[in-house]
């Protein structure tokens, strides 16, 4: 038995139904536009009828008779007047059109009583900071007008201040960091803790703008970021802090996120990086993220002073020259790095003198990642040897010209043990984890314009590149894939970024030189 063909509407029903719905929607919109006056008049007649019904219900029974007599008299007069019926109909339609118009909700002007009380509290709290007895007409005075000082404000759904603009007198020392810090601490306490605030000082206009910042995303994991050679993503920050975004993948979704990009190489003004933080703040996570990004275009040498084995996943991978945890191996690797830096400088100088391009092994970036060098210094002092940090002088001083980048990470309470060369030549700074304001100012060179939160997630902190502004920073999640506490999604994200294995784990770095006199010294012990 031959099968009957399906009806046409079922064979291509999807397209036909979509076109039908579109036509029906267009027809409905057109009909609404055409019948809008009739709809308005009908709505107005309904409202007028409702108003008349309410008026009749509210009228006492002893007054309903005279009211009916008056209405009948008006109808009789209108009927006797020439064209009275037509005029009455026109007046009725006009009244119905006016009553049936779409009325916008009235927007309340000014703060309500609770909001006004909160603003008055801000004003009274700022009086001791923004007033002096010698001022003949003070802007801030107890019981004064807060509306003249607090020129702009906004509240969130919970009734807390989300934005506040404060005008202050010209004699306030807004250039003094301590004076600023006192005012910021006061506003932070009055606006409510548990949130992050940004303080923007406009010295020219004598205004301070306080804005509540949204929390930085913590769901961005390690992935191949869209960057060029010499660009490293340290983390992600606020949209207003940078002028660039990168596409990032979070689960099955892709969105744009503003990154903090650190540029290295010959043309970099901040060729070396210092990372400081407390235990568990994410310094090792940031080092691991930098290593994975550096291996895309260069070689990596890792010196781990803590000896925790957090970089075991990188052992034996392509581009990983060595991972040293002991004192002897660390000294041998750093000595090789110093000799390699000198060799690269000599090779680059010879190439420039002869008019040739630099050799490929000189142009290939070399990264020295040193985790907790203070611990190695303590071990060397106990063993009667020199501090291994002294071997970083040559890479730090001449690394930019030789395409050698040094990244040093240590704990906040051990920064005093860092050598002068490390502190002077690491002009790119990152502070992770909870830190008091004076520690942030000491490491970054200037305090941030935001307040830290009470609960700091791992990898959360601040970054400053050279003399630039201080950015809030959230490091992408790059945990140790061999750690049992690592989730499967994060473990797979890190494993996908690892280069293939090229040799046995723990191999020592091989010197890239043809001159036997430039070989590194043998390891002691």
Q: What is the pLDDT of residues 439-494, one digit of tens each?
A: 898 999 988 888 877 678 889 999 999 999 999 999 999 999 999 889 999 999 99
Contact indicator for 465, 270 with CB cutoff of 8 Å: yes
Q: For residues 388 and 390, what is the distance between their CA atoms, to the nearest angstrom?
A: 5
pLDDT of residue 410: 94
* Side-chain-side CA neighbours of residue 212 (13 Å): 17
Question: Does residue 309 carry a pLDDT above 90?
Answer: no
Q: For residues 137 and 206, what is the distance between their CA atoms, to the nearest angstrom?
A: 16
Nearest alpha-carbon partner for 297 in 434, 82, 34, 499: 499
pLDDT of residue 28: 67
484 or 24: which carries more pLDDT confidence?
Answer: 484
Three-state DSSP string of 229-294? CCEEEEEECCCCCCCCCEEEEECCEEEEECEEEEECCCCCCCCCEEEEECCCCCHHHHHHHHHHHH
Question: Does residue 387 carry a pLDDT above 70?
Answer: yes
Question: Does residue 311 carry a pLDDT above 80?
Answer: yes
Q: Mean pLDDT: which of 378-392, 399-413, 442-456 is highest?
A: 399-413
């Amino acid at each position: 038995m031959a099968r009957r063909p399906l009806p046409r509407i079922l064979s291509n029903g999807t397209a036909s139904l979509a076109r039908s719905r579109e036509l029906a929607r267009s027809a409905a919109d057109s009909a609404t536009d055409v019948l809008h006056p009739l709809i308005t008049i009908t709505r107005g007649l309904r409202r007028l009828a409702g108003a008349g019904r309410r008026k009749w219900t509210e009228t006492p029974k002893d007054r309903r008779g005279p009211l009916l007599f008056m209405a009948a008299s008006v109808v009789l007069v209108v009927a006797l007047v020439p064209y009275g019926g037509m005029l009455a109909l026109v007046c009725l339609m006009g009244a119905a059109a006016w009553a049936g118009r779409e009325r916008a909700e009235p927007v309340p002007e000014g703060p309500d009583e609770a909001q006004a009380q909160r603003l008055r509290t801000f004003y009274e709290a700022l009086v001791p900071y923004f007033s002096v007895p010698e001022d003949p007409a003070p802007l801030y005075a107890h019981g004064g007008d807060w509306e003249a000082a607090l020129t702009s404000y906004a509240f969130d759904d919970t009734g807390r201040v989300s934005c506040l603009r404060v005008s202050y007198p010209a004699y306030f020392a807004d250039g003094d960091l301590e004076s600023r810090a006192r005012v910021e601490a006061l506003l932070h306490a009055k606006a409510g803790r548990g949130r992050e605030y940004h303080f923007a000082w406009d010295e020219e206009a004598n205004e301070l703008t306080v804005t509540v910042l949204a929390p930085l995303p913590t769901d961005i994991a390690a992935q191949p970021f869209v960057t060029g050679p010499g660009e490293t993503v340290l983390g992600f920050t606020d949209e207003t802090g940078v002028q660039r975004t990168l596409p990032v993948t979070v689960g099955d979704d892709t969105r744009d996120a503003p990154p903090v990009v650190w540029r290295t190489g010959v043309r970099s003004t901040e060729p070396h990086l210092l990372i400081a933080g407390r235990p568990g703040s994410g310094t090792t996570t940031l080092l691991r993220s930098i290593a994975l990004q550096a291996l895309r275009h260069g070689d990596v040498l890792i010196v781990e002073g803590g000896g925790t084995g957090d970089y075991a996943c990188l052992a034996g991978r392509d581009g990983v020259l060595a991972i040293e945890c002991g004192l002897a191996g660390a000294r041998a690797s750093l000595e090789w790095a110093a000799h390699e830096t000198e060799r690269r400088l000599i090779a680059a100088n010879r190439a420039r003198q002869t008019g040739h391009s630099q050799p490929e092994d000189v142009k290939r970036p070399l990264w020295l990642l040193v985790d907790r060098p203070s611990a190695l210094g303590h071990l060397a002092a106990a063993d009667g040897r020199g501090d291994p940090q002294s071997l970083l002088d040559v890479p730090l001083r001449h690394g930019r010209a030789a395409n050698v980048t040094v990244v040093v990470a240590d704990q906040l309470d051990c920064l005093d043990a860092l050598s002068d060369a490390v502190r002077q030549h690491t002009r790119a700074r990152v502070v992770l984890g909870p830190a008091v304001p004076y520690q942030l100012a000491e490491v970054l060179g200037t305090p941030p314009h935001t307040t830290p939160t009470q609960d700091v997630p791992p990898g959360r902190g601040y970054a400053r590149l050279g003399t630039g502004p201080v950015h809030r920073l959230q490091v992408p999640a790059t945990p140790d894939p061999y750690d049992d506490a690592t989730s499967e999604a994060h473990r797979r994200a890190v494993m996908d970024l690892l280069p293939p294995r090229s040799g046995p784990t723990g191999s020592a770095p091989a010197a890239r030189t043809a001159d036997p006199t430039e070989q590194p010294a043998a390891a002691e012990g």
